[in-house]
Structure 1
Amino acid sequence: MLSGIKLACLNGFGILFKALDYHSESLRNVLTARDLWVTHCGSQQQALDMLLTCTTKGKFSVGKAYNLLRPKFPTQACYKAVQDPFIQSRHKFTLMLALQRKLATVDQLCRRGISIANRCCLCKKNAESSRHLFFTCPYSQTVLSSLLSWMGLNLRDVQLRSLILWYHRSKPKHHWRNKWFKCGLAAETYYIWMERNYRLFEGKERQALCLFKDIKLCVHTLLLHKSSPTEHTAIIEALNV
């Protein structure tokens, strides 16, 4: 396996032929990656030497080669905070998109050139944006204030990123209350987004307190399912579902 890779690398690095129009897209991508690799390593020989180190149990590893080639960026603390196994995958995915402001809210669609009336589906008054949808909308404020009150917190004028960082740094990371907060905030983000989609695409509506009850039940189930048995009594007393 390695001898074939080495031969192919020597031929490719030695000739260094360029991608031409009549080459297939796959070959052009391979040649482009090769040029980036040589530039990253500094020379053809160094590129070959590094490539030959990308092995696992004597076999070439594409994953290791990719990790060597791709740029490295520091992970922001707020993203580390939500990488908790307690948080459901679908909740985590929605929360990450919300943090990056990549959810397809109406204002984002308008920026992409899509002509659509910008009105929030929850309050039916203001323009829809990520901040409005999750924090300043009266419907979302009712859900969020109920959630924070349930957790024993009295916070106002909060933002999603700062809220996660504040609680992540103020509590022990492995304490169940820290997991309670992050699970609750992720579930709130997910349920608000799903309520928005239900109203927009299916014409279904739920009251804010009904949505909050669903969030409580979801968080209660997650904590009891994933916590240790010694913590169950304290969790049940604190959650008060």
Structure 2
Amino acid sequence: MDRIPTREVLAFRNIPVNTTICPFYEEGPENANHLLLLCQMANRVWQCIGSWCKIPPISAFVVRDLLIMHKTAPFCNKKKKVLQGIIMTTCWCIWKARNQTIFENKESSVDKVINDVKLLAYLWIKNRSPFNGLSWRDWCNFSF
């Protein structure tokens, strides 16, 4: 719905931006689908997330498809909810890395984004779900 204030959306709303190009690899227009799915950075992050969660490679072309992907995962309902949380956390971490790149001039890396996803999602899942006895080791191995 173009509610994420990407550079392309801001420019469309007549808000001055220096460029509408994605800040990670400068390879396409920065819109939600590109930033969260199609950019090389996002694509590599999703490959790592899929591998970590022991699911087929995550590939989607629109954010809407990404946000319902957990429903088709070969897991029990509790683990599907965990995957949903991981997907949302990953989107947040990609957005956060984008903002750090633009506003703080910090370089982002796939490894940093993955580490942020694992840490933030672990804290969220451990403290806000029935998995409160989850250990960091089990979380990192995605075996719970």
2:66 paired residue number: 163
Question: Displacement, 1:215?
Answer: 0.7
Identity %: 20
2:13 paired residue number: 112
Q: Which has the higher Rg, Structure 1 or Structure 2?
A: 1
Contact 2:86-2:117 within 8 A present in 1 as well: yes
Contact 2:32-2:63 within 8 A present in 1 as well: no
Number of residues of Structure 1 aligned to a counterpart in Structure 2: 139
Contact 2:46-2:58 within 8 A present in 1 as well: no
**TM-score, normalised via structure 2 length:** 0.81
Unaligned runs of 5+ in 1: 1-99
Instruction: Supply the distance in 2 between the matched residues of 1:213 and 1:140 (Cα, whole angstroms).
Output: 14
Unaligned runs of 5+ in 2: none
The one-letter code of the counterpart of 1:240 is N
Question: Displacement, 1:128?
Answer: 1.0
Q: 1:231 to 1:133 in 2, by over 3 A?
A: same
1:221 paired residue number: 123
The one-letter code of the counterpart of 1:183 is G
What secondary structure sits across from 2:97 in the alignment? helix
Contact 2:126-2:132 within 8 A present in 1 as well: no
Which of residues 85, 93, 116 in structure 2 aligns to 1:191? 93
Query: Higher helix share goes to which structure?
Result: 1
Query: What is the root-mean-square deviation of aligned Cα atoms in Å?
Result: 2.5
**TM-score, normalised via structure 1 length:** 0.51
Contact 2:70-2:81 within 8 A present in 1 as well: no
2:28 paired residue number: 126
Which runs of structure 2 are paired with 1:1-241 in the superposition (5 Å)? 100-116=1-17, 117-158=19-60, 159-168=62-71, 172-173=76-77, 175=78, 177-228=79-130, 232=134, 236-237=137-138, 239-240=140-141
The one-letter code of the counterpart of 1:136 is L
Question: Displacement, 1:238?
Answer: 5.5
The one-letter code of the counterpart of 2:40 is P
The one-letter code of the counterpart of 1:181 is L
